[in-house]
Amino acid sequence: GGIESPTAGADVAVIGGVIAAVVFVLICLLVVMVRYMYRHKGTYHTNEAKGTEFAESADAALKNDPALQEAVDESKKEYFI
């Protein structure tokens, strides 16, 4: 057989402890990332005018928008799609 030194068992214990600590930290990071992604799911905000989803046409939606009350000219309508 092989000759084992008395510090061989201590070296294995230290390596095992380091591996266990790294695995513990990785699991904690995974839990934090999953929780963050779950809490911030669906937080997409648009800058569309309020109430335009019920308008019968684009013209009616734009006329009712308070931010656009100062329209330039009715004959110069532009729509961006």
> In this predicted structure, what is the pLDDT of residue 1?
47
- The answer to whether 49 and 67 are in contact (CB under 8 A) is yes
Q: How many domains, in total, are found in the chain?
A: 1
Tell me what pLDDT residue 24 has: 98
pTM exceeds 0.75: no
Q: Domain for residue 3, yes or no?
A: yes
Q: Which residue ranges in the chain fall short of pLDDT 70?
A: 1-6, 42-77
Please choose, from the candidates 72, 71, 50, the residue with its C-alpha nearest in 3D space to the C-alpha of residue 61: 50
Check residue 3 and report its DSSP letter.
P
Number of C-beta neighbours around residue 52 at 10 A: 13
Q: What is the pLDDT of residue 54?
A: 62
Instruction: Tell me 1's DSSP state.
Output: -
